[in-house]
A and B are shown apart, each in its own frame.
Chain A
Amino acid sequence: MDFTININNKSLVASKGETILEVMNRNGIRVPTLCHIKDALPTGACRMCVVEDNKTGKLITSCSFPAEPGMSILTHSPRVVESRKTIIELLLSNHPDDCLYCVRNKNCELQDLSSELHVTERRIRGIKNKANLDLSSASIVRDPEKCILCGRCVYVCEEVMGVACIDFINRGNKSIIGTAFHQGLNTSSCINCGQCIMVCPTGALTEKNHFAQIQEALNNPSKRVVVQYAPSITVSMAEELGMEPGVDINGILNAALRKVGFDHIFDSSFSADLTIMEESAELIHRIQNDGVLPMITSCCPGWVKYAEEFAPDFIPNLSSCKSPQQMMGAIIKSHFAAQENLRPEEIYSVSIMPCTAKKFEAQREEMTREGISDVDAVLTTRELARFLKLFGVDMFNIKPELVDSPLGFRSTAGKLFGASGGVMEAAIRTAYRTLTGKEMVEFQVPALRGFEGRKETKININGLELGVAVVNGMTNAKKLLDEIRAGKNDVHFIEIMACPGGCIGGGGQHIGTSDEQLRTRMQTLYRIDETERIKVSHKNPEIVELYKEFLGKPLGHKSHELLHTHYHQREVVK
């Protein structure tokens, strides 16, 4: 049912159940918000979005107040602007004044709002927040001093990720956001997905930085510094560099990384192809030998940690394959090292990932051999952009270059890993070929593409009805797992990605990415898949070569030693 309401003396159409904020946003009227998250139940906590109800003279929060017939609203009356300004001034009164030293400088909602509302002098002096940094996590740094208690991280952690490792603690002016018993994040149930960083308006949540170690390695002549970048990096970095969203910067990224001084540049999409070879072989092995089904992907370190903590009954279902990052790391420090006559400790292996959980994964005990980590340092997309700036690389004036070979060539199947559903699609292509000896007629599986939190379909391979499911966002995964516990048995293979949309929406990506931009990134990946020639992992010539020269066959002895691992139940505070 539609009706009209009056906003700023203009009649606008609203429908029943819509909030005032939604009506305004639809009509291009912008009102600042802080605690508001799209599609989430509004809390009205920060009160930035107040508007004046002309009839009652009251200030109401537009994010939580439903539009009513005959309403008359002023969005920028003097009273409204004044109260918004006061809110910001109060937030700033106990906020540390160290913007110049803050990672989020120039990309901070608090900073933006104070400039938008013309806060130019300190009217309210408060005692500055005092709290200790939480550096305990391998991935995420928490600085409660910079927290403005908007609660967006709490929402994402609980409602989207189903983890709930942080919550509001204490009451009134002593309120903070923290973990249970004020313990470090490392002992909490945090899965390191980094979605809290993505929604944090200030610098209260950031990723753990490894710049110093990487620079030291780059400047150390006795170290060979190699770098790999994840499939989603090339399509998701544009926003961070100020380019058109969705542009594929593959070539110039290679050139830029060479300028920085990395000795070898590899593409994790290559090791994604390798993952597919192993994973599809494992799937077929499980199906033919009555193994544990459904098999669940283990590429996403956020999901793996979630399984270890919250769903240990599904650990036998996890594929034993390492993630592409770790496969590449293992191949670099074994096969590549041998080819180059290097000892593993002479190589410093960096990876560029859209993900904060990869930082955690890289330092896992399972991912080391004889005390040497397969991957030494992980940079997120955001960090890479800052790193390139530090080295003065002008991304707008640079000639594209090719990635290093071998360990650089990829099929488009490996590239698809960047989007939710991509691992599944790539695996189906290779499994089909292994089982039937023929290639698929139509490679694309439209039912597994797109942004839905859960996608399911059946693939017919030579009469074998293969049930597959793709989920992203841990609450969606939890629902599916619950259904399987309750007896759902028509799926054989499940892909789980912790972050909404898959890696293109990962916790290490550009902060402030809109849904529209995420879609563009996904489209770019699909376009690459459409236009390029080699669309299946098993036809990647370098993969074929690697198996011939070094690994033997998928699930072979070498593969087991280097590319497979297993996971254990993890005791955490939850």
Chain B
Amino acid sequence: MTLVQNVLHKYPDVGHDSLIPILQDIQTAEGYLSKKSILEVGKYLNIPASRIFGVATFYNQFRFEPFGKNHIQVCRGTACHVLGSSTVLQELEKHLKVKAGQTTRDGQFSVEVVACIGACGLAPVICINGEFHAKVTAQSIKEIVDSYKTKGE
């Protein structure tokens, strides 16, 4: 049984209202919502793919690409914002050539924007694979990210 079938197995005889719990379960199991699994859910619940995609993109919790080897969370909370996290994010996106929510083509990095990770004293702060990096700047972010790249290789 595939991963999606495993999830759907838990939802016998359900209607359209079970869409979101199903999507959540798939994301938990798979890490993201793949095109294939969305199509499979659509067939199961008899909902057009465009509708499911519309619902899933409405909510921030769903992602459509797998996590990278290194997952970068950029804090965009108030304190970080005041100290320039928007330029940090911009610089990061430019450096990795991806937008927030996406994963680099080589699968090395994925970028996620989070509201506040509760480390305002360290602002602007980013978190890579659970390790915190304090007081990042538009300059230092590149070095930090690159150091993970070499680690990965």
B-binding residues in A (CB < 8 A): 158, 163-171, 178-181, 188-189, 573-574
Residue of B42, B48, B52 contacting most chain A CB atoms (<10 Å):
B48
Residue of A165, A167, A170, A188 contacting most chain B CB atoms (<10 Å):
A167
Q: Beyond A181-B35, A573-B39, is A164–B51 a contact (Cβ under 8 Å)?
A: yes
Q: Is B128 an interface residue (CB 8 A)?
A: no
Chain A residues, Cβ within 8 Å of B52: 180
- A-B interface pairs (CB < 8 A), number: 43
With A and B bound together, what is the CA distance between A171 and B48 in angstroms? 19
The smallest beta-carbon distance between B73 and chain A, in angstroms, is: 20
Chain B residues, Cβ within 8 Å of A167: 48, 50-51, 53-54
Closest 10 CB pairs of A and B: A164-B48, A180-B49, A167-B54, A167-B50, A180-B53, A180-B50, A171-B58, A170-B57, A169-B57, A168-B54
Residue of A166, A171, A188, A573 contacting most chain B CB atoms (<10 Å):
A573
The smallest beta-carbon distance between A551 and chain B, in angstroms, is: 43
Tell me the B87-127 residues at the A interface (CB within 8 Å).
none
Chain A residues, Cβ within 8 Å of B53: 167, 169, 180-181
**23 A–B contacts, CB within 8 A, in A order:** A163-B48, A164-B48, A164-B50, A164-B51, A165-B48, A167-B53, A167-B54, A168-B58, A169-B53, A169-B54, A170-B57, A170-B58, A171-B59, A178-B50, A179-B50, A180-B38, A180-B48, A181-B38, A181-B49, A181-B64, A188-B50, A573-B39, A574-B49
With A and B bound together, what is the CA distance between A163 and B51 in angstroms? 11
With A and B bound together, what is the CA distance between A546 and B5 in angstroms? 58
With A and B bound together, what is the CA distance between A573 and B48 in angstroms? 9
Tell me the B31-79 residues at the A interface (CB within 8 Å).
35, 38-39, 42, 48-54, 57-59, 64
Residue of B35, B42, B57, B64 contacting most chain A CB atoms (<10 Å):
B57
With A and B bound together, what is the CA distance between A169 and B49 in angstroms? 11
Chain B residues, Cβ within 8 Å of A573: 39, 49
Chain B residues, Cβ within 8 Å of A574: 42, 48-49
> Number of B interface residues, CB 8 Å?
15
With A and B bound together, what is the CA distance between A165 and B54 in angstroms? 11
- The closest CB in chain B to the CB of A162 belongs to B48
The smallest beta-carbon distance between A175 and chain B, in angstroms, is: 9
Which residue of A168, A178, A189 contacts B48 across the interface (Cβ within 8 Å)? A189
The smallest beta-carbon distance between B116 and chain A, in angstroms, is: 20
With A and B bound together, what is the CA distance between A355 and B23 in angstroms? 38
With A and B bound together, what is the CA distance between A163 and B49 in angstroms? 11
With A and B bound together, what is the CA distance between A163 and B54 in angstroms? 15
- Establish whether residues B50 and A171, one from each chain, have CB atoms under 8 Å apart when the complex forms: no
- Establish whether residues A158 and B54, one from each chain, have CB atoms under 8 Å apart when the complex forms: no
Chain A residues, Cβ within 8 Å of B51: 164, 167
Residue of B50, B58, B64 contacting most chain A CB atoms (<10 Å):
B50
With A and B bound together, what is the CA distance between A181 and B36 in angstroms? 11
With A and B bound together, what is the CA distance between A191 and B50 in angstroms? 15
- Establish whether residues B57 and A166, one from each chain, have CB atoms under 8 Å apart when the complex forms: no
Chain A residues, Cβ within 8 Å of B50: 164-167, 178-180, 188
With A and B bound together, what is the CA distance between A166 and B53 in angstroms? 10
The smallest beta-carbon distance between B128 and chain A, in angstroms, is: 26
Chain B residues, Cβ within 8 Å of A181: 35, 38, 49, 53, 64
With A and B bound together, what is the CA distance between A170 and B51 in angstroms? 11
Residue of A165, A180, A189 contacting most chain B CB atoms (<10 Å):
A180
With A and B bound together, what is the CA distance between A316 and B149 in angstroms? 57
With A and B bound together, what is the CA distance between A167 and B54 in angstroms? 6
The smallest beta-carbon distance between B66 and chain A, in angstroms, is: 15
With A and B bound together, what is the CA distance between A218 and B56 in angstroms? 50
Chain A residues, Cβ within 8 Å of B42: 574
With A and B bound together, what is the CA distance between A434 and B72 in angstroms? 75
With A and B bound together, what is the CA distance between A169 and B55 in angstroms? 7
Chain B residues, Cβ within 8 Å of A169: 53-54, 57
With A and B bound together, what is the CA distance between A23 and B78 in angstroms? 50
Tell me the B116-147 residues at the A interface (CB within 8 Å).
none
With A and B bound together, what is the CA distance between A171 and B39 in angstroms? 21
- The closest CB in chain A to the CB of B42 belongs to A574
With A and B bound together, what is the CA distance between A181 and B32 in angstroms? 14
Which residue of B38, B57, B64 contacts A171 across the interface (Cβ within 8 Å)? B57
Chain A residues, Cβ within 8 Å of B39: 573
- The closest CB in chain A to the CB of B48 belongs to A164
The smallest beta-carbon distance between A179 and chain B, in angstroms, is: 6
The smallest beta-carbon distance between A72 and chain B, in angstroms, is: 38
Name 18 extra pairs, CB < 8 A, besides A189-B48, A574-B49. Answer: A163-B48, A164-B48, A165-B50, A167-B48, A167-B50, A168-B58, A170-B57, A171-B57, A179-B50, A180-B49, A180-B52, A180-B53, A181-B49, A181-B64, A573-B39, A573-B49, A574-B42, A574-B48
With A and B bound together, what is the CA distance between A189 and B53 in angstroms? 14
With A and B bound together, what is the CA distance between A178 and B50 in angstroms? 8
- The closest CB in chain A to the CB of B35 belongs to A181
- The closest CB in chain A to the CB of B64 belongs to A181
With A and B bound together, what is the CA distance between A168 and B48 in angstroms? 12
The smallest beta-carbon distance between B1 and chain A, in angstroms, is: 23
Chain A residues, Cβ within 8 Å of B59: 171
With A and B bound together, what is the CA distance between A574 and B47 in angstroms? 9
- Establish whether residues B48 and A158, one from each chain, have CB atoms under 8 Å apart when the complex forms: yes
- The closest CB in chain B to the CB of A172 belongs to B58
With A and B bound together, what is the CA distance between A181 and B50 in angstroms? 8
